[in-house]
Amino acid sequence: MSADSPIRVALIGYGYAGKTFHAPLIASVPGLRLACIASSRPDDVHADLPDVEVVADPLQATVRDDIDLVVIAAPNAQHAPLAAAALRAGKHVVVDKPFTLTLAEARELRALAKRHGRLLSVFHNRRWDSDFLGMKQVIDGGRIGEVVHFESHIDRFRPQVRARWRESAQPGAGIWFDLGPHLIDQALQLFGLPQTVQAGLAALRPGALSDDWAHVVLDYETRRVVLHASMLVAGGSLRFVAHGTRGSVVKPRIDPQETQMLAGMKPGDAGWGEDDDALLLYPGDAPVETIPSPRGDQRLYYAGIRDAIRSVAPSPVTDAQALAVMAVLEAGVESARTGRVVAPSLDGEERESFGQANDP
């Protein structure tokens, strides 16, 4: 693809993810052009994007000749069939997390993308969050030594069960499939693949139809990583905690980009991604040190997708990395179901591909 040609994008779905994340981020990245949106609510789309064409049939959008990249932000159960249709039509594909409902579906899509020679990526946008970037800098810089205990929380206070598919009883609903992929992907970027997964999933709110509490422990022999998400945390929870052989580091609050977009800020506006919540470094017996949080910028995911399609850079999230996230996600489901410790079910080639994708 010519560096001068805009990459024409079809966005499938204009619910929370499509409206809040994908459409604004795509529109903010030079070289990408949001050509059409598949939605059953055209008035909602045109209220925000009056010049973007709206189509009712998502399959129609995946096969159009004037589309280069299909972004799938539909309900989770539709990810695999829509991605498969787009790949067969010769399109590059980005799928919102979770990649698919099962590891088997993810493997099928990965094989299909390879057969058709197309990019397949998953929207693990929180690699470009201020909180994660700050923790990664401290850990990679050796400021706390070898990490032995790491906690990652995404907690919210939503005591009322809402009438939406994410909180329904259908496959792919629940907090583990919603927030688990973020927590898993960040952990894998920091520490690689765990040996085993031990998970507890529960529905704690009155009337809950799917899990709204998840507590998962990843075993790395000499390190334990705790992933936690809940809908009943009104306060007092820290976003990240890491303890190491030389000290500890804490990040109290979550990255602000989602809140900024909900408030009407556009990616790239003044103040975009700036996080006034500093990291707190506890270096053994020395005084506590305050470390400013780096700026987050989720636009970099779509800038990376643009560059990968143009063959000038690797994919920002490879299919091997996305497959590894699915393996841990599925291991968590199996562990919670059986009460057993479960190893992520990746074969030798998949583990090797993940390792290569994560090499610096």
pLDDT band at 1 (very low <50, low <70, confident <90, very high): low
Is the pLDDT at 254 greater than 80? The verdict is yes
Kindly report the number of other CB atoms within 10 A of residue 330's CB atom: 21
Kindly report the number of other CB atoms within 10 A of residue 78's CB atom: 16
pLDDT digits (tens, 9 = 90+) for 143-182: 999 999 999 999 999 999 999 889 998 999 999 999 999 9
Is the pLDDT at 5 greater than 80? The verdict is yes
Is the pLDDT at 196 greater than 60? The verdict is yes
Nearest alpha carbon to residue 35 among 3, 75, 62, 4: 62
Is the pLDDT at 305 greater than 60? The verdict is yes
pLDDT digits (tens, 9 = 90+) for 47-92: 999 999 999 999 999 999 999 999 999 999 999 999 999 999 999 9
pLDDT band at 310 (very low <50, low <70, confident <90, very high): very high
Q: Whole-angstrom Cα distance, residue 334 to residue 329?
A: 9
CB 169 within 8 A of CB 210: yes
pTM of the model: 0.95
CB 281 within 8 A of CB 249: yes
pLDDT confidence of residue 342: 97
pLDDT band at 28 (very low <50, low <70, confident <90, very high): very high
pLDDT band at 8 (very low <50, low <70, confident <90, very high): very high
pLDDT confidence of residue 347: 87
The amino acid that residue 143 corresponds to is R
Domains defined for the chain, CATH in brackets:
7-123 (3.40.50.720), 129-297+329-353 (3.30.360.10)
pLDDT confidence of residue 357: 74
Nearest alpha carbon to residue 102 among 355, 334, 285: 334
Q: Under DSSP, is residue 194 helix (H, G, I), strand (E, B) or coil?
A: coil
- Average pLDDT on 104-112 reads 97
Q: What is the residue-averaged pLDDT of the chain? A: 95
Structure tokens at 67: 């589309």
Is the pLDDT at 289 greater than 90? The verdict is yes
- Average pLDDT on 109-115 reads 97
